Amino acid sequence: MEEGARARELDVAVRVVQMACSLCQRVQSGLVGRNREQIKVKEDDSPVTVADWGVQAVVSLLLSECFGGENVSILAEEDAHTLSRKDATTLLESVISTVNECLSEAPKYGLKCPPKHLGAQDILDAINSCNSSGGSKGRFWVLDPVDGTLGFVRGDQYAVALALIEDGEVILGVLGCPNYPMKKEWLNYHQRYYRLMTTLSPPSGSWHKGCVMYACKGSGEAWMQPLVHDFGEYDQQSSARMIRVSSISDPAFATFCEPVEKANSSHSFTAGLAHNVGLRKQPLRVHSMVKYAAIARGDAEIFMKFARAGYKEKIWDHAAGLVIIQEAGGVVTDAGGHPLDFSKGIYLEGLNRGIIACSGPLLHEKIINAVDASWDSSNL
């Protein structure tokens, strides 16, 4: 594909994720501690909210509007089954209102929006149209509308993740992190603490309000810009900044990330690995792909995830973060040192034990060797 077309796809993707982050911020501000009826529980016991469905509908509609409707193939996490039930009328009305409010602001982001107010069927169709099954041939977008929904409903960290895959390879990724503070130390605290601190000592500029990171495969560059609510007033050249991974290669000075929830990863195994490798710092436990963002921006050096038996990783949980880390100079593989395979559909099939992301090859090799030495004695 021509470089100009790829640049346009990335530009549109960044603007779409910016809009999606704005939607999430509005929903989260009204959700935390109050509007609990906007939260539902899926069959796998994970939460889903108005923001999950709203973002999926908005991204689906905007990508179709920008790139030609039926030519756009999207693989995404949610479906509209719950919203279609007779007892979900109030929930569906909230999604409809949220989506239309968000789309009305599309011109501020330099995007085309649907020409009419959208009704229930329009929204349900937009959500359900994200039904690609992926695979090794062709092009499709991969979307996690709210990665880390548990963090989202708690008022904490979450991400909007959008990637484009071509013939099984991730070719661009965009990661919106609405609550990601510029001071990495604040990631250790609940988001409510961060809001309190910014109230007591307001940061200068707009960078404290969250950011969007993005990269194209093979460019050797990864970028970050602040959340923007009007691109007409935004100077990308002066506001966007290039990001690089940390230069730390000594495990004694490295910070490692892992999932918050024990159900998603073995904290005891990663703790043992950390000890064996010589990691001295306490782990940074963060919801969502913000862990990938932390490594890409140089706030952490290692991400380790070793899921319990039977758990299968989904491609939307890793695609966007992977390409951003790689272009920022980092390394992402499975625990056997093999590249992640995005060509097998929804799941990362053939994954060797777990996922390891590092800021550089030296740390990566040390972690891989430690996994090999410790795995047989684990209960995973």
Q: What would the two tokens of residue 267 be?
A: 């904290």
Task: Identify whether the C-beta of residue 140 lies closer than 8 Å to the C-beta of residue 74.
Answer: yes
Task: Identify whether the C-beta of residue 290 lies closer than 8 Å to the C-beta of residue 156.
Answer: no
The full set of domain ranges for the chain reads 3-243, 251-377
Question: Which listed residue (49, 52, 255, 299) is catalytic?
Answer: 52
Whole-prediction pTM value? Answer: 0.90
Whether 149 is catalytic is yes
The reply to whether 317 sits in an annotated binding site is: yes
Question: Which listed residue (98, 149, 270, 333) is catalytic?
Answer: 149
Whether 299 is catalytic is no
The reply to whether 11 sits in an annotated binding site is: no
Tokens 């908005």 sit at which residue?
58
The reply to whether 125 sits in an annotated binding site is: no
* DSSP-based three-state secondary structure for 144: strand
Full pLDDT tens readout for the chain, 380 residues: 567 889 999 999 999 999 999 999 999 887 654 555 556 655 554 568 899 999 999 999 999 999 986 679 999 999 998 899 988 899 999 999 999 999 999 999 999 888 889 999 999 999 999 999 999 999 999 999 999 988 888 888 899 999 999 999 999 999 999 998 766 666 665 555 555 555 565 555 555 578 999 999 999 999 999 998 888 766 665 689 999 999 998 888 998 887 776 556 666 777 777 777 777 777 777 888 999 999 999 999 999 888 777 789 999 999 999 999 999 999 999 999 999 999 999 999 989 888 999 999 999 999 898 888 877 655 54
Q: Alpha carbon of 15 to those of 36, 49, 109, 173: distances in Å?
A: 29, 22, 6, 13
Q: What are phi and psi of 113, to 5 degrees?
A: -120, 160
**CATH architecture, domain defined by 3-243:** 2-Layer Sandwich (3.30)
Domain 251-377 top-level CATH class: alpha beta
The reply to whether 230 sits in an annotated binding site is: no
